[in-house]
Structure formats: C-alpha cells, structure tokens
Amino acid sequence: MATIHDVAHRAGVSTSTVSHVINDTRFVSDETRTRVLQAINELSYQPNRVARSLRARRTHTLGVLLPNSANPFFADMLLGVEAVAYDHGYSVIFGNAIEDPQRELSYLEVLLATQVDGILLISTGIFNEALKTVSARDVPVVLVDRSTEQLGVDSVLTDNAYGGALATQHLLSLGHRRIGCITGPPELIPMAFRIDGYRRAMAEAGVEVDETLIVNGDFQHESGYNGCRKLLSHPEPPTAIFVFNDLMAVGALCALHEAGLRVPEDVSVIGYDNVPLASYTVPRLTTIGQPSQMMGRMATEMLVSRVKNPDLPPRHQLLDVTLIERASCGPLHNRD
C-alpha cells in the first residue's frame, strides 16, 4: 500500500504539503494541489482515516436514528441524508428503532460509543430521554420530522398543521361533511398538529367534528386496514377518510375494496407523505406531499455545519407541504 511519503515523493513535495491538501488545512497553490491529487490517484493512496480521526478528534461519521426503516417515507429521506453526507466526506451509520423507544435508546448508546460526530434523530416520538443522553455527551444533534421545546436543538420539519387543514379542506370542497380520520401514534407531535389542522378546517367550515370518527393507527398497512373497517362499522360511516400516512391509506383502500365499496364513488380517501407507492394504488392515491429527500438533505447540511461550528445559534426549518390530487377523492354527489 502506498504511503504519504510515496505520494510526497511522486508529487515532489513535502509530506506536510500532502497532508494539507488532503485535510484542506492550509493554502496550497492550484499547481501543487493538482500534482498531489494526481499522485494520490496514480498510487491509489488511501489516507489512514483512523489516524486522522484521532488527530482531529472526529470520526467523519454521522449517526441516524430511524423509527422504522420499512416506511418508504424515511427510506426516501435517507437518500437525501446519504447524498449530502457523501458530498461532505462523511460516512453514515443507521439505527432502526422499529417504533420501540427502548430500542431507540439502545441504538443511541451504540452510536455514541462509536464516537459519531453528530446525530440525526428521527425519533419514535418519546425523545426527551434521547435528547438528554445526547446533550450530556455534548454531541451535536438535529431533530428531523419532530419538534421540541428544548432550547438549543436544531430541527427540520414540515408544516403538519397546514397539511392536516389542507387535506380536510380538499374533502370539504368536494361536499363531504362526515370525514373520518385514521391518525398515527398520538404521542407524536406531528400527529397532534395534523389533527389540529383537521379540527380547524372543520370548524372554519362550520362542521361539527364527530369524535367517534377518529381512530388511531401506527403508520403500518394493517392499522390502516383495521382502522378503516372500524370506521365502516359505524352506524353512520364517513363518506371520506383522511389517513395520516400513505401506508395506512393502502390498508384502508384494501378494506374498502373488501367491503364492496368504490373509491371515490362511495368513499373518498386522502393520504399523507406522497411516497412512490401512492402513484400506483388503484385508484391512484390523492395525498399530501412532504419533501422527504429535501428534509434529509437540509437536516444533514445543518448537522455538518453544527459539527464544524458548535456555537451557531439554534436553527429551525419549517418546510411547506402540497396537495397532490390523483383519483381517490371525488365529490359527494357522485355516490349512488
């Protein structure tokens, strides 16, 4: 294996100059930099990352804690995370909590033990303990798709209250008044904002909310299926259903099909997230689109800058959501 001395000899410079080019720690002329980079390429030189980490007290590694990697919304977000991390020379280690707060804390300890430079926390929802653990170790953290009142924590999230209102307003505009909801886990703050948006839109339209038409899910297909069946068993079932993520909406579509109901002629369905699968359901799913990849990119940029400059003031980025109209919602008067 080539050494830094081999590179220096090939480029005709000192080993310290090679080090400065690799670590970008001092000005080096373009001509010299080109010679060094060419020598590195010709010799297939690989810097000793362990040694560099010990000297710089950084591992050039970021940790990402996910609530559930099987959810395509988070999978899409990770594409943005990895793209930015790679551009900045960072590796990424993932921990999958599978919706288990205790598992989340266990993975957090693993990430801290590997001395990651920073952590992107997409929490299962009960993340105060996780934040306390990270803060105690003085490791930079950015919350993604979650919010907190804890001071000094960077965050990137979308406008869930507006998203909840937007979905409900769309159904109201089509003439629906009995609008059911299949929510996500109630402990998640984004769910509270979405249901608040739903309630606000209903109130502004002068429509009373029937609390018995609101059921909880867990973001998985099966809970959407079961939640929809529960709504259909209601003495006065809804004519439209707002489902708080697309995976549950797929389960709801299955339940409606089994019940012999047509979508949207008999029941309209709107989802949330705009995962790729939403374009291929039958009928194609109307949904609220979240910029998942952009969230991952912005959160990673924020974390990298926090690693480099811990004294930056706290930053909070709120991204817009959009209504994606497809074929699963229709006017009330279309019903037989």
Domain boundaries, the chain: 4-47, 56-158+292-319, 160-290+323-334
| pLDDT per residue rounded down to tens, the chain (336 residues) | 788 889 999 999 998 898 888 876 788 899 999 999 999 989 988 776 545 544 456 788 999 999 888 899 999 999 999 999 999 889 999 999 888 888 888 888 899 888 899 999 987 766 677 777 787 788 999 999 887 666 578 999 999 999 999 999 999 999 999 999 999 988 888 899 999 999 999 999 999 999 999 999 999 999 999 999 999 999 999 999 999 999 999 999 999 999 999 999 999 999 999 999 999 999 999 999 999 999 999 999 999 999 999 999 999 999 999 999 999 999 996 544
Q: What is the pLDDT of residue 336?
A: 47
Residue from 318, 250, 261 nearest 290 by CA? 318
CATH architecture of 160-290+323-334: 3-Layer(aba) Sandwich (3.40)
CATH class of the domain whose range is 4-47: mainly alpha
Q: Which DSSP letter does residue 29 get?
A: -
Is the fold of 4-47 the same as that of 56-158+292-319?
Answer: no
CATH topology of domain 56-158+292-319: Rossmann fold (3.40.50)
Q: Which residues of 182-216 are buried (b: 16+ CB within 10 A; e: fewer)?
A: bbbbeebbbbbbbbebbbbbbeeeeeeeeeebbbe
Q: What is the pLDDT of residue 221?
A: 95
